[in-house]
C-alpha cells in the first residue's frame, strides 16, 4: 500500500516534468522547476469572470482533477508479494498478511471502472466551457465533449478484444492472462486493437493531433480560456494525469503490465526483488508511452473538426468493431 | 457500522440532489444535480454487492446519457424556466398528487416487508461480472437480443430525427407556421376592432 | 439503524416521488426527460436491493435492460427535442400545441 501511495505522489510530479525539457534555472537541470511553477500558480491572482456561473465555475476544475486521479486506485503497480513474512512489523501490523498486492483496491471490474471514471471527466471540460460564459470557452467545451463521446466508443470497442482473450475485467487478471498466454504480450494478437486504442487515447486526452478543444490559434485556449491561477493549474494537472492514465491502460492491456519475460528465473516470483524489478519495468514502459506523447506533439499537425469526426465515426469505430468480430471468431475456434 | 453511515450519507446526498434537480430553474443546474444522484446511487449499489452494475451505472448514465443531455443544453443555449403565469394553483395540485403517490409507494413497500431481514450471503457469486454474463447469454438470451434490436432502432430513429431538412421542406414548414401565426394575429385584430 | 431492505425501498420510493412531482412541475422538455430518468433510477434501486436480499442475479440483469432502454430513450428523446427546438425555438412543452386546433 505504501509503495503504491509513494508511486502516486511520484506520478503527479512526473506528469509535470514530462512536458518540460527546457527549464534549467531552478535547481540542478531544472528539477525543481515544477515546484516553482506550482508556487507561481498558487500565488497568482485568481480572476473570476464577472458573468460566469460561479458554482459550476468552481466545480469544473475539481471534477476534472478528481476524475483524473480516481483511476489510480485500481492500477496494478506490481506483482503480489507472497514470500515475505511480515510479522517483524511493530504493533502486530503484519499479522495475518500473507499476500501483499501492489494495488490499492482490487476491483473485479477494473477495466470498466477506469473507462467509467474517465468518461465522467468530460463534465469537467464541458462545464468549464459553459460556466465561463465566453464564446471561445463554449466552443472549446462543445468540441471537446463531442470529441470525447465519439472516441470513447472506439476506445471501448478496442479494449473488448483484450478482454475476450483474457476472459476477465480485472486489470491484474489481464496481466496474469498475458503471462500464461503463448504470446506473452497481447499487442501481438491484438495489434489492430492496440493501434485503435492508441489513437482513441490521444483523442480522449485532447492531445495533438486531436487537441481541437484547446486549439490556440483558433480558440485562444479553449475551455480554460477564462481560468487563471490555481484553477488553471488543476486543469493542467488533470490533463497530464489523464495522459498517465491512458499510458497505464496501454501498458496493462497490451504490453503485459509489470511482467518482464524471464525474470522468474532470476528471482523467485513473489519475492521483494522480483516485485521491485517488475515495478521498475512497469514505470519504464509507461515512461516510454509518455515520451511517445510528447514526440507526437512535436511532430504532427492538427486535424480539422469535420476530419476528426469523420475519422472517428467512419474509420476508427468500424475498424475496432471488425477487430472485435475477428477476435470472437478466433477465440471460438481456439476454444472448440 | 461504517456501511450504515455510508448508506445514510449517500441516501441523503441522493435525495438532496434530486430535490435540487426539481427545484433548480436552470436546466444545466438540474442536469448537474442529476449526475450527483447517479453517482450517489452507484455508491449505494457498491454497498449492495453489485459492483458491475455500479460501474455500468456511471458509464451509461453519468458518462453517456447525461453528457448527451448537457451537450444538448449547451447546444440549444436554453434559458431558465419562466414561472407559470396562469393556472398557478396547479403547483399545489401537483404537490398533493406527489404526496398521495409517496404514501401509495410506501404502502406497497410496507406490504412487501415480509421479505428477508438480513442480506443473503452473496459474496461468492452474485454481482460478479462472470455470473451476470453467464446469466445474460444463457437464460436471458432472448431479452438481450431484443434490447440489441431496440438499440439499433433507437440509433436509426435518432439519426432520422435529427437530420437537417432539405431547404425546400424547411421552407414549407416555416411557411405554414408563419401563415398560421398571421391568421391568429388577424383574428386578434378583429377582436380588438369590435 | 442498520439499513434493511425496507430502508432501500423507502429511499427508492422517495426518489420516485420526487421524479414524478418533477415531471408535473417541469415545463421544459429536457427537465421532464431528466425527471423520468430519475424515476427509472429509483426503480433500478429496488431491483438491486431485491437482488441483494434474495441472492438472485435476475434483478441486476433487469437493471441492465432498464439502462439500455434509458439509453435508447435518451437518443430518440433528445432527437425529438432538437428537432422541436429547430421548428419552435423553444423546448417548452406548452408550445407543442400544433395539434390543438
Percent residues over pLDDT 70 in chain B: 69
A-C interface (Cβ pairs under 8 Å ≥ 3): no
As given in the structure block, the three cell numbers for residue C4 are 434493511
User: Using the beta-carbon criterion (under 8 Å), do C20 and B98 form an inter-chain contact?
Assistant: yes
User: Using the beta-carbon criterion (under 8 Å), do B56 and C28 form an inter-chain contact?
Assistant: no
Q: Is the pLDDT of residue C23 over 60?
A: yes
d(CA B111, CA B105): 10
Assess if residue A264 is contained within a domain. Answer: yes
Phi and psi based region of residue B75 (left: phi greater than 0; alpha: psi -120 to 50; beta: remaining): alpha
Q: Please report which helix (H) or strand (E) contains residue A61, including its range.
A: helix A54-69
User: CA distances (Å), A69 to each of A65, A241, B71, in order?
Assistant: 6, 7, 24
Q: Does C81 touch chain B (CB under 8 A)?
A: yes
For A86, other C-beta atoms within 10 Å of its C-beta total: 13
Assess if residue A31 is contained within a domain. Answer: no
User: Using the beta-carbon criterion (under 8 Å), do B62 and A59 form an inter-chain contact?
Assistant: no
User: Using the beta-carbon criterion (under 8 Å), do C22 and B21 form an inter-chain contact?
Assistant: yes
Determine the distance in angstroms separating the CA of B172 from the nearest CA of chain A, rounded to an integer: 29
Q: Is the pLDDT of residue B37 over 60?
A: yes
Contacts of A148 in chain B (CB under 8 A): 67
Query: What's the confidence (pLDDT) of residue B45?
Result: 87
Assess if residue A217 is contained within a domain. Answer: yes
User: Using the beta-carbon criterion (under 8 Å), do C78 and B68 form an inter-chain contact?
Assistant: yes
Assess if residue A28 is contained within a domain. Answer: no
d(CA A329, CA B12): 48
Query: How open is the CA angle B7-B9-B12, to the nearest 5 degrees?
Result: 105
Inter-residue contact A64 to A131 (CB < 8 Å): no
Contacts of A153 in chain B (CB under 8 A): none
**pLDDT by position in tens, chain A (length 336):** 444 444 444 555 555 555 554 555 555 555 555 566 666 667 766 666 666 667 777 788 888 888 888 887 777 776 766 665 555 555 555 555 556 666 666 677 778 888 888 888 888 888 877 777 667 777 777 777 778 878 888 888 888 888 888 777 777 777 777 777 777 777 777 788 888 888 888 887 776 666 666 655 556 566 666 666 677 777 777 777 787 788 888 888 888 777 777 666 666 666 677 777 777 888 888 877 777 777 776 666 677 777 777 777 888 888 888 888 888 888 888 877
Query: How open is the CA angle B74-B77-B83, to the nearest 5 degrees?
Result: 120
Query: What's the confidence (pLDDT) of residue B193?
Result: 47
Structural domains of chain C sorted by starting position, each given as residue range(s) with its CATH number in brackets: 29-89 (1.10.287.3510)
Determine the distance in angstroms separating the CA of A190 from the nearest CA of chain B, rounded to an integer: 23
B-C interface (Cβ pairs under 8 Å ≥ 3): yes
Q: Does B62 touch chain A (CB under 8 A)?
A: yes
Angle between helices A272-299 and A2-18 (to 10 degrees): 20
Assess if residue A317 is contained within a domain. Answer: yes
Nearest in space to B33 (alpha carbons), one of A150, C22, C10, A144: C22
For A273, other C-beta atoms within 10 Å of its C-beta total: 11
* Count of alpha carbons within 13 angstroms of residue A37, beta-carbon side: 18
B:8-27 residues touching chain C, CB 8 A cutoff: 8, 11, 14-15, 18-19, 21-22, 27
Assess if residue A33 is contained within a domain. Answer: no
**Partner-chain residue, chosen from A116, A117, A145, that has the shortest CB–CB distance to B67:** A145
Q: Is the pLDDT of residue B98 over 70?
A: yes
Q: Which residue of B has its CA nearest to C14?
A: B102
Query: What's the confidence (pLDDT) of residue C41?
Result: 92
d(CA A15, CA A287): 10
Q: Is the pLDDT of residue C51 over 70?
A: yes
Q: Does B29 touch chain A (CB under 8 A)?
A: yes
d(CA A258, CA A248): 10
ipTM of the complex: 0.87
Q: Does B95 touch chain C (CB under 8 A)?
A: yes
Structural domains of chain B sorted by starting position, each given as residue range(s) with its CATH number in brackets: 1-125 (1.20.120.1200)
Q: Could you tell me where the DSSP H helices lie in chain B?
A: 2-23, 27-47, 51-57, 66-76, 90-111, 129-137, 141-162, 167-193
Q: Does B56 touch chain A (CB under 8 A)?
A: yes
Task: Give the count of domains, chain A.
Answer: 1
Instruction: At C28, give phi and psi (nearest 5°).
Output: -95, 145
Assess if residue A129 is contained within a domain. Answer: yes
Structural domain span for residue A150 = 2-12+49-335
Assess if residue A248 is contained within a domain. Answer: yes
What is the tens place of the pLDDT at every residue in A132-160? 766 777 777 777 777 887 888 888 888 88
3-state SS, residue C92: strand
Amino acid at each position: 500500500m505504501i509503495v503504491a501511495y509513494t508511486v502516486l505522489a511520484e506520478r503527479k510530479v512526473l506528469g509535470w516534468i514530462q512536458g518540460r525539457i527546457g527549464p534549467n534555472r531552478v535547481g540542478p537541470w531544472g528539477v525543481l522547476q515544477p515546484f516553482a511553477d506550482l508556487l507561481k500558480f498558487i500565488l497568482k491572482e485568481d480572476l473570476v469572470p464577472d458573468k460566469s456561473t460561479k458554482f459550476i465555475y468552481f466545480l469544473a476544475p475539481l471534477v476534472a482533477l478528481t476524475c483524473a486521479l480516481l483511476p489510480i486506485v485500481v492500477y496494478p503497480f506490481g506483482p503480489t508479494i507472497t514470500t515475505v513474512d511480515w510479522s517483524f512489523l511493530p504493533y502486530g501490523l503484519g499479522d495475518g498478511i500473507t499476500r501483499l498486492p501492489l494495488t490499492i483496491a482490487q476491483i473485479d471490474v477494473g477495466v470498466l471502472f477506469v473507462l467509467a471514471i474517465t468518461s465522467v471527466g468530460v463534465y469537467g471540460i464541458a462545464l468549464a466551457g459553459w460556466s465561463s460564459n465566453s464564446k471561445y470557452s463554449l466552443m472549446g467545451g462543445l468540441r471537446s465533449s463531442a470529441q470525447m463521446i465519439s472516441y470513447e466508443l472506439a476506445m471501448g470497442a478496442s479494449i473488448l478484444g483484450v478482454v475476450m482473450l483474457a476472459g476477465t475485467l480485472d486489470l491484474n487478471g489481464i496481466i496474469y492472462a498475458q503471462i500464461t498466454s503463448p504470446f506473452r504480450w497481447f499487442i501481438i494478437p491484438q495489434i489492430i486493437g492496440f493501434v485503435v486504442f492508441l489513437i482513441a487515447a490521444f483523442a480522449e486526452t485532447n492531445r495533438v493531433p486531436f487537441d481541437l478543444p484547446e486549439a490556440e490559434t483558433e480558440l485562444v485556449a479553449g475551455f480554460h480560456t477564462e481560468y487563471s491561477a490555481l484553477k488553471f493549474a488543476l486543469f493542467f494537472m488533470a490533463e497530464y494525469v489523464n495522459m498517465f492514465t491512458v499510458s497505464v491502460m496501454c501498458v496493462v492491456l497490451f504490453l503485459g503490465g509489470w511482467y518482464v519475460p524471464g525474470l522468474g528465473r532470476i528471482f523467485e516470483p513473489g519475492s521483494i526483488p522480483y516485485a521491485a524489478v517488475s515495478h521498475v519495468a512497469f514505470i519504464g514502459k509507461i515512461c516510454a508511452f509518455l515520451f511517445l506523447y510528447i514526440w507526437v506533439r512535436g511532430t504532427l499537425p492538427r486535424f480539422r473538426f469535420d476530419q476528426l469526426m469523420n475519422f472517428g465515426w467512419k474509420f476508427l469505430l468500424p475498424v475496432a468493431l471488425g477487430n472485435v468480430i475477428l477476435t470472437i471468431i478466433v477465440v471460438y475456434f481456439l476454444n472448440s | 457500522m461504517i456501511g450504515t453511515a455510508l448508506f445514510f450519507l449517500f441516501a441523503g446526498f441522493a435525495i438532496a440532489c434530486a430535490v435540487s434537480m426539481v427545484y433548480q430553474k436552470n436546466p444545466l443546474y438540474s442536469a448537474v444535480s442529476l449526475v450527483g444522484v447517479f453517482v450517489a446511487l452507484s455508491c449505494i449499489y457498491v454497498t449492495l454487492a453489485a459492483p458491475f452494475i455500479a460501474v455500468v451505472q456511471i458509464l451509461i448514465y453519468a458518462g453517456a446519457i447525461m453528457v448527451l443531455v448537457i451537450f444538448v443544453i449547451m447546444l440549444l443555449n436554453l434559458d431558465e424556466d419562466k414561472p407559470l403565469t396562469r393556472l398557478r394553483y396547479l403547483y399545489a395540485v401537483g404537490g398533493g398528487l406527489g404526496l398521495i403517490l409517496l404514501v401509495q409507494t410506501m404502502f406497497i413497500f410496507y406490504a412487501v416487508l415480509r421479505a428477508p431481514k438480513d442480506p443473503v450471503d452473496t459474496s461468492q457469486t452474485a454481482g460478479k461480472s462472470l455470473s451476470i454474463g453467464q446469466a445474460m447469454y444463457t437464460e436471458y438470451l432472448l431479452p438481450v437480443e431484443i434490447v440489441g434490436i431496440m438499440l439499433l432502432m433507437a440509433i436509426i430513429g435518432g439519426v432520422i430525427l435529427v437530420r437537417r431538412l432539405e431547404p425546400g421542406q424547411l421552407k414549407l414548414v416555416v411557411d405554414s407556421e408563419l401563415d398560421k401565426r398571421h391568421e391568429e394575429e388577424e383574428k386578434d385584430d378583429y377582436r380588438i376592432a369590435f | 439503524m442498520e439499513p434493511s431492505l425496507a430502508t432501500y425501498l423507502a429511499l427508492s420510493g422517495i426518489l420516485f416521488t420526487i421524479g414524478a412531482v418533477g415531471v408535473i412541475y417541469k415545463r421544459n422538455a429536457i427537465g421532464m426527460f431528466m425527471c423520468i430518468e430519475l424515476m427509472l433510477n429509483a426503480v433500478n434501486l429496488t431491483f438491486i436491493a431485491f437482488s441483494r436480499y434474495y441472492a438472485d442475479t435476475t434483478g441486476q440483469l433487469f437493471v441492465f435492460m432498464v439502462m439500455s432502454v434509458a439509453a435508447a430513450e435518451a437518443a430518440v428523446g433528445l432527437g425529438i427535442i432538437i428537432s422541436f427546438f429547430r421548428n419552435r425555438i423553444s423546448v417548452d412543452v406548452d408550445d407543442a400545441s400544433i395539434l390543438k386546433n
